[in-house]
Amino acid sequence: MAHPPPEARHRIAIAVRAAAAILGGYLMANLVVVVVQRAMPESGTDASRLGAMLGFILFAVVAIWAFSARSTWAAVTGIALPALLLTLVLLVLPGGGA
C-alpha cells in the first residue's frame, strides 16, 4: 500500500465493495437460476437445481471480483453490467418480459 487512503475513505470503499459482493452476487445468482429455468422449460426441478449450483459459483466469482477490482468504481460496474446483460437475456428468452 504505497499511498494509504484516509481511514474513512478506506472504510467506505470496503463497505461499497462488500455491498456489491453480497447484493450483486445474490442478484446474479438469482438471475442465473431464472435464465436456466427459462432456457430449459421442460426440465422442471433439474433446471432449478442446475441454475442454483451455477448461482453459488457465480456468487463466489462476483465476490472475488468485488474485492479484487482495481477501483471501487470498476468493482461496481463490473457487477452491474453483467447483471444488466443477464436481465436482457431474460427478456429475450421465450417466456420473458413478464
Partner 1 sequence: MKAGFRQSMAWLHTWTGLLLGWLLFAVFLTGTIAYFREEVTLWMQPELHGSVPGPNSAALAMQRLADIAPHADNWTIALPSPRSTTIDLLWRKPGEEGGRRSGERAVLDATTGEVLHPRETAGGDFLYRFHFELHGLPRELARWIVGIATMAMFLAILSGVITHKKIFKDFFTFRPHKGQRSWLDMHNMTAVLALPFHVMITFSGLVLFLYTLYPFVIEAPRRGQPPQAAQVQPQQMEAPPGQHGPRMGQVDTAPADLVAIGPLMRVAEERFGRPVGRIAVEKLQSPRPEIVLSARGADSLIAQGGGGGGGGTALRFDGTTGALIGAPPPRELSAVAAVNAALGTLHRARFADTWLRWLFFLSGIGGTVMVGTGLFLWVSKRAAKHARAGRTPSGFRLVERLNVGGVVGLSVAIGAYFWANRLLPVDLTNRADQEIRVFFGVWALACLHAFLRGPARAWPEQLGLAAILFAGMPLLNAATGGGDLVHTILQGNWILAGVDLAALLGGLAFAYAARATATPATARTARPPRAPSRPDDVPGE
Which residues are near partner 1 by CB under 8 A? 1-2, 10, 13-14, 17, 29-30, 33-34, 37, 43, 45-53, 55-56, 59-60, 63-64, 67-68, 72
Cβ atoms within 10 Å, residue 41: 11
Rounded to the nearest 10 degrees, the angle between the axes of helix 7-19 and helix 72-92 is: 20
Q: 62 burial class (0-12, 13-18, 19+ CB within 10 angstroms)? A: buried
